[in-house]
Structure 1
């Protein structure tokens, strides 16, 4: 299992919900943090909570619908002069629930793809180039298990696209110490999932972060949080490494 103490993790959507929990989980294990919110001020709590645990923490801001802001955010991170070993791409948006789904506007797709697909992939590419030079890295992109709901077409399509490009990219790194995988936190009671979701957001741990701790040089897996519910981190890592298959392109995600 990877020891993250003293390493640096970049966590998007860390101001609240599952992203906040994932960032705090990493800090509790000694991992330094760069946390993202729409503005740095939105991350004041997670920065304070992380520093109270004795790790370093910085906040950056970007609205992911604006790629220029994403690019500036990445430049701001580079300017910190630290080596980012772990990326947890948690930030996302569910733009609308369209009961009249045949009236779904094009904007649902445009906004969803900018925030849920394009921004996390620009982040992925940026840090992969750096990880290629150090020979180590962990990237976990957040997907969704949503199926058969045309009422949420923009959201589900953008997550399916993220799955596809992440898994295809992962095939290029399988067998190296740069591991790229996806995670599905499940339907949780967060600002995105809504108050009627069946799962407590705490149930997403340790599943949403297990991809940061695996040490078997395998990429292209879906670490669905429900498969790890109630486990210790050590148990979750063993299960992730032994039981979760690598995507080959011949089966559904």
Structure 2
């Protein structure tokens, strides 16, 4: 079973390093050499390093084979794990959602609307660890409040992006916040926060591309669970199936197969 999928330019770089061929697929080096391979490819200009290691897995819930720079995951079409938090406020006139506008200097989707809290799961950490860390750094949510978050689902998707093939698994959480709470950005990654009626958020997702690309998926899940999209309709069932099984078709024919890492 392939662990990932690589574009032709990376296939050539791997071939030159003696790691295989486009016809037979590629085998990555021993786990101890994964990090250095990622560094070499970044120096060759194939991707921009994040200077943050993420776990390499052949598939979701499979044993970790090694670590590589976060920026290399889509380059290799490898599974990435992330967390997204719906920061909700129940008011007398309905349900509201805290959104953040991404800073203009963000690498991905600068200036787009985003979740109150979202981020990747670094090597050696659990999604819960990452959620608590991001809650403090991105929105200054106190730990005792952040720990009230409830996991509500897990979404998988595959998407060709400029940075490569994103094959991500997103752990989704709901956190009901008091009306008195106001988020404060602590790490400079958010330009501003906005509390929006959920119906307004639905309209933005339906009619615009105002939100960061993968945030829309988590919001569609939220809409299905709260009746803004009828979960029993044909559209609702199709959307739910796509959210639950988005990686099942993530084997694009124009990619060269990347073999499992040799442990």
TM-score interval, smaller chain: under 0.3
**Could you tell me the TM-score, scaled by structure 2's length?**
0.25
Higher share of residues assigned helix:
1
Higher share of residues assigned strand:
2
